[in-house]
Amino acid sequence: MVRTIKLIGILCVSLTTACGGQQTNPIVSRDAQSNACFTEVISPAIIETQIEHREISPGKFETHKRPTLIRERTVSRINLVCPEDQTSDFISSLQRAFQARNLYSGPITGTWTAQTKSALSSFQTARGITIDALALVTAQELGLAVTPVGTQ
């Protein structure tokens, strides 16, 4: 008689902060050829461990563990607005853009206030961007950065 008990455990293989999550405080890198700023977001692998107990004779069991890869580890590149391009005027424009979308109700300061960061987080999270930095696609969507011709 074989009696199977399936226990599932999840093991995350990554250097990110949480199981299944992505880094939130990115490291800004610079592309050597284009001089563009970017970060790499790591989505950890998810491994499910299946444990099976088999009765090999009355009262005697064997335990078998088998890891199963549910999701591969991925590394995605997200282009960012470079820190030196985030001038006071640029941040003021960002605050006005968020204000026009009812995401920001604070004063236009031209600085990264807590309210500005919160508005950025809300805006980007709704679009699947879970980093605490200004993604270039966000600036492009808000009309604050040039979108190259022929790209989305």
Q: Mean pLDDT check: name the lowest of 12-16, 33-37, 51-55.
A: 12-16
Helix (H, G, I), strand (E, B) or coil at 54: strand
This prediction's pTM? 0.67
Q: What token pair was written down for 141? A: 């969507």
Residue 25 pLDDT grade (very low, low, confident, very high; cuts 50, 70, 90) = low
pLDDT digits (tens, 9 = 90+) for 79-114: 999 999 999 999 999 999 999 999 999 999 999 999
Segment 15-24 shows an average pLDDT of 43
Domain ranges for the chain: 7-76, 81-141
Average pLDDT over residues 8-20: 41
CB 10 within 8 A of CB 48: yes
Could you tell me the two tokens for 137? 């696609």
pLDDT surpasses 60 at 136: yes
- H or E, element range at 34: none
| Separation CA 124–CA 39 (nearest Å) | 15
Q: Place 149 in a pLDDT band, splitting at 50, 70 and 90.
A: low
pLDDT for 88 = 96
- Please state, for a pLDDT cut of 70, what percent of the chain lies above it: 80
Q: Compute the mean pLDDT over every residue in the chain, rounded to the nearest whole number.
A: 83
